[in-house]
């Protein structure tokens, strides 16, 4: 009887039974491989607390004009209460709190740059309440990291932690944060890694680990540990409309931090590689216009004159696909790759140029904070003065002296200027406007409206739906992918 029933089970239902059994076996195997949560973190934390320090800083600041109304209110309040007025001091001492951790028993301590920036005095307090005056060895604003040094007394010993590999932990793995939130030193919280590679627009090398472990004001500079007791991150920022933890915290990965800290320890400053390009994201439309198989790499919007990239032959419009034998998946990754590469190293760079992969050798320079000069394009002569490109919804003109004066263009700016934009056209969809200068179309220089029309017609004849425009606007170059309207 049972055998007959089993044979007559409808096939879809039987398939679902089989699939569910397979899935059950898969999840059972996955659960067996996953690292279980500990019953308690207590044993681990006992060994970690001594390496975490509380940091307090003070500095003398001038009373800014922004506080004048606030101070005037209190001056009037005290005068009404009979407290008298008098001249208010123009300087005051400001205190702040943060966290840090010891990386060497000789007294080297890691924290955030913003914890100790502009401090006149830095005091470090250990878990056992010992206090030391700290010296700032060096700091790096771009990555928000700083290195301190304290000098233990004779016979004193300091516990030190060890770095972990921040590339190993996965989303969902347990982490522990220890710090000094709101001055409550030695506070321990636990959570998981919520996400990786977060860009929160705090600096050029953002690559944060996101966690739901509670992080509050004062936790800045404190360590994020894995379950092996290794530092895999430095707690640095939170997202919080209220000012308190809502379960969205960000930590600097240890692999990025360790390189910076090593440089600070060696020489007190950080030196970074410099390529000499300005880049932008490769969108799906730009990829189609560049004839790339998918949106990837970093698109070169401009090349610094006499910089490493220009000397190596990298050109405006190239898409950088690989750097030093590492794939460049998107624009955000390239600045960090370059910054981490030794200055003067000969690096192979793979670029996509007009439908072909090319490899160039670049000798990296050193990054400084001087504004980078944008490369200027040169174009040849052409006869046509004005024209209308209906496929893009743009009215164009050669750059005449009158237009150069009207749109405040310098003598070095060349190309074709947009004089009018059809609000219903595809150019308007991409934000093109009067005064923009089209320098290239599909990586070919243009000098007249007819040049632009020829490039658009060629793209249509070859079956492409998009053209890429190199647009110059108020000192900056940008690539824009514009859809060709169908006739």
The shares of helix, strand and coil residues in the chain, as percent rounded to the nearest 5, are 25, 35, 45
| In the predicted structure, residue 38 carries a pLDDT above the cut 70 | yes
DSSP code for 484: P
| In the predicted structure, residue 90 carries a pLDDT above the cut 70 | no
Q: Out of 224, 240, 267, pick the residue that ends a domain.
A: 267
- Here the CATH number for the domain that contains residue 189 is 2.40.10.10
pLDDT per residue as tens digits for the range 322-367: 999 999 998 888 988 898 888 889 999 999 998 999 999 999 998 7
- Here the CATH number for the domain that contains residue 405 is 2.30.42.10
Give the residue, 1 or 453, on which the prediction is more confident: 453
Give domain status of residue 403, yes or no.
yes
In this prediction, residues 442-461 reach a mean pLDDT of: 86
Q: Are residues 255 and 288 in the same domain?
A: no
Q: Out of 249, 267, 285, pick the residue that ends a domain.
A: 267
Give domain status of residue 4, yes or no.
no
- Cα–Cα distance, 95 to 441 (Å, whole number): 56
In this prediction, residues 203-228 reach a mean pLDDT of: 92
Q: Are residues 444 and 417 in the same domain?
A: yes
What is the enclosing helix (H) or strand (E) of 236? Answer: strand 231-238
Domain count along the chain: 4
Core vs surface per residue 428-458: b (16+ CB within 10 A) or e: bebebeebbbbbbbbbebbbbbbbbbebbee
- The catalytic site residues sit at 114, 144, 220
Give domain status of residue 333, yes or no.
yes
| CB proximity list for 236: less than 8 A, separation 6 or greater | 112, 144, 202, 208, 220, 221, 250, 251, 252
Give domain status of residue 47, yes or no.
no
Give domain status of residue 229, yes or no.
yes
How does residue 379 score in pLDDT terms, banded at 50, 70 and 90?
very low
How does residue 17 score in pLDDT terms, banded at 50, 70 and 90?
very low
Residue ranges of E strands in 10-70: 52-62
Q: Which residue has the tokens 């996955």?
A: 30
Q: Are residues 465 and 436 in the same domain?
A: yes
Give domain status of residue 21, yes or no.
no
Q: Are residues 259 and 285 in the same domain?
A: no
Q: Out of 366, 397, 432, pick the residue that ends a domain.
A: 366
Q: Are residues 263 and 281 in the same domain?
A: no
How many CA atoms are closer than 13 Å to the CA of 467, on its beta-carbon side?
A: 27
Which residues form the domain of 70? 52-83+91-149
pLDDT per residue as tens digits for the range 249-264: 999 999 989 989 999 9
Q: Are residues 260 and 302 in the same domain?
A: no
Regarding pTM above 0.85, the answer is no
pLDDT per residue as tens digits for the range 154-172: 888 899 999 999 999 999 9
Residue 223 structure tokens: 């360590």
Q: Are residues 278 and 324 in the same domain?
A: yes
The gap between the terminal CA atoms of the chain, to the nearest Å, is 70
What's the mean per-residue pLDDT of the chain?
82
Task: Return the pLDDT at 75.
Answer: 52
Task: Return the pLDDT at 357.
Answer: 94
Give domain status of residue 116, yes or no.
yes
How does residue 462 score in pLDDT terms, banded at 50, 70 and 90?
confident
């Amino acid at each position: 009887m049972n055998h007959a029933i089993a044979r007559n089970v409808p096939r879809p239902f039987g398939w679902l039974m089989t699939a569910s059994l397979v899935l059950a076996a898969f999840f059972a195997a996955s659960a067996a491989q996953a690292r279980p949560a500990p019953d308690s973190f207590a044993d681990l934390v006992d060994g970690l607390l001594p390496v975490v320090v509380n940091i307090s800083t003070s500095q003398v600041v001038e009373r800014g004009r922004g506080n004048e109304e606030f101070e005037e209110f209190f001056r009037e309040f005290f005068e009404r209460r009979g407290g008298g007025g008098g001249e208010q001091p123009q300087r005051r001492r400001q205190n702040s709190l943060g966290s840090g951790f010891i990386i060497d028993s000789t007294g080297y301590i890691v924290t955030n740059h913003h914890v100790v920036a502009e401090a006149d005095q830095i005091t470090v307090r250990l878990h056992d309440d010992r206090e030391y005056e700290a010296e700032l060895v060096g700091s790096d604003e771009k990555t928000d990291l700083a290195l301190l040094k304290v000098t233990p007394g004779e016979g004193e010993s300091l516990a030190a932690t060890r770095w972990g590999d921040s590339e190993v932990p996965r989303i969902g793995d347990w982490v522990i944060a220890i710090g000094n939130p709101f001055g409550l030193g030695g506070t321990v919280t636990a959570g998981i890694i919520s996400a990786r590679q977060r860009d929160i627009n705090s600096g050029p090398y953002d690559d944060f680990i996101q966690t739901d472990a509670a992080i509050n004001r004062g936790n800045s500079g404190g360590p994020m540990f894995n379950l092996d007791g290794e530092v895999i991150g430095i707690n640095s920022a939170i997202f919080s409309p209220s000012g308190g933890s809502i379960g969205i915290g960000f930590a600097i990965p240890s692999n990025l931090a360790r390189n910076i800290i090593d440089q600070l320890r060696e020489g007190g400053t950080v030196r970074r590689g410099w390529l000499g390009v300005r880049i932008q994201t490769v969108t799906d439309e730009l990829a189609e216009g560049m004839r790339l198989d998918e949106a990837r790499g970093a698109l070169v919007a401009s090349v610094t004159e006499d910089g490493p990239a220009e000397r190596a032959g990298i050109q405006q419009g190239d898409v950088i696909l690989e750097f030093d034998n590492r794939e460049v998946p998107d624009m955000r990754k390239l600045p960090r790759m370059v910054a981490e590469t030794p200055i003067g190293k000969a690096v192979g760079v793979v670029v996509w140029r007009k439908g072909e992969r090319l490899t160039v050798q670049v000798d990296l320079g050193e990054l400084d904070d001087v504004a980078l000069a944008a490369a200027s394009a040169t174009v040849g002569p052409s006869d046509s003065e004005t024209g209308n490109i209906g496929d893009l919804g743009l009215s164009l003109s050669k750059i005449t002296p009158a237009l150069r004066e009207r749109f405040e263009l310098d003598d070095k700016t060349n190309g074709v200027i947009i004089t009018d934009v059809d609000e219903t056209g595809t150019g308007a969809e991409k934000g093109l406007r009067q005064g923009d200068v089209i320098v290239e179309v599909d990586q070919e220089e243009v000098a007249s409206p007819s040049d632009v029309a020829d490039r658009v017609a060629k793209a249509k004849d070859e079956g492409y739906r998009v053209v890429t425009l190199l647009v110059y606007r108020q000192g900056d170059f940008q690539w824009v992918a514009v859809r060709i309207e169908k006739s």
